[in-house]
């Protein structure tokens, strides 16, 4: 009896082991606990309120060189402005490719204002002139593709030629000093033609000093012979008035 019970227990154990091995081999077993998930809606930030106006992409701005775009919308433009430089009388508009061809001219009023109406669009040179014809200001390139208004208040730095003469003859190697209101405005030495360039020289009254070699009396009256010596230099003083229209200032070394 005991033998039968032992055999039955062994059989049951073997069957249980067989079932467990079969389940392990085929991936069977106690299922894991199920999990759940929830979808959380993303939070969209509220736009920041500003006082900046949106960009108008349809607006068109005419820049330098936008000739093609500008010509589609207009063929003429208005130019006005105010000149505060003393002595201004008129404003000239010249063709950029032919600088001596005056296309339009306008006179300034008592307050220095000027106006050009219905000008053709394009690029020009603008010159501001005095009543005597001296150029007081230059805008080398003025792009006019829309109505424009200018304020011109800076005078042109004028380069003048200083010429030192003895009678009608030029004096080479003359050292020149120009002073105005107690301040030195220019120093330079003349070349073989008796000339020297003086940049940034405004109009007005100047005191000048010139150091030159004297004329040798032994030159027998030859105006071209100076008889220069290396040990004697003569200082000559004088006063000269430079006008706005003067491009050449002649000083006498008598």
Please give the CATH topology (third level) of the domain spanning 67-152. Answer: Immunoglobulin-like (2.60.40)
Strands, DSSP E only, in the chain? 76-83, 88-95, 102-107, 113-120, 122-130, 135-144, 148-152, 160-166, 169-170, 175-180, 183-189, 195-198, 204-212, 234-242, 248-252
pLDDT in tens, 123-155: 898 989 888 787 888 888 888 989 999 999 887
* pLDDT tens, residue by residue, 231-252: 578 999 999 998 877 888 999 9
| Per-residue confidence (pLDDT) for residue 21, from 0 to 100 | 61
Average pLDDT, integer, range 205-225 = 68
pLDDT digits (tens, 9 = 90+) for 74-120: 788 999 999 998 888 899 888 876 667 888 999 999 999 999 998 99
33 or 237, which is more confident? 237
Higher-confidence residue of 113 and 221: namely 113
Domain ranges of the chain: 67-152, 160-252
CATH topology of domain 160-252: Immunoglobulin-like (2.60.40)
């Amino acid at each position: 009896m005991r033998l039968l019970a032992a055999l039955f227990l062994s059989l049951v154990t073997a069957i249980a082991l067989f079932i467990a091995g079969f389940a392990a081999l085929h991936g069977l077993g106690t299922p894991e606990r199920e999990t759940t998930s929830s979808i959380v809606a993303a939070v969209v930030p509220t736009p920041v309120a500003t006082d900046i106006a949106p960009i108008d992409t349809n607006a068109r701005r005419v820049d330098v060189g936008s000739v093609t775009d500008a010509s589609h919308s207009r063929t003429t433009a208005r130019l006005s402005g105010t000149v505060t430089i003393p002595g201004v009388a008129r404003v000239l508009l010249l063709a950029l490719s032919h600088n001596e061809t005056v296309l339009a001219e306008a006179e300034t009023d008592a307050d220095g204002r000027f106006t050009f109406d219905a000008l053709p669009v394009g690029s020009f040179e603008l010159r501001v002139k005095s009543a005597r014809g001296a150029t007081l200001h230059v805008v080398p390139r003025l792009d006019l593709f829309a109505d424009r208004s200018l304020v011109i208040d800076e005078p042109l730095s004028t380069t003048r030629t200083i010429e030192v003469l003895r009678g009608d003859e030029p004096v080479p190697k003359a050292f020149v000093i120009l002073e105005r209101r107690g301040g030195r405005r220019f120093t330079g030495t003349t070349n073989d033609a008796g000339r020297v360039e003086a940049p940034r020289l405004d109009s007005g009254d100047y005191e000048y000093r010139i150091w030159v070699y004297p004329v040798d009396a032994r030159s027998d009256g030859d105006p071209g012979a100076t008889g220069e010596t290396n040990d004697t230099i003569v200082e000559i003083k004088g006063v000269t008035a430079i006008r706005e229209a003067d491009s050449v200032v002649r000083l006498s070394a008598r």
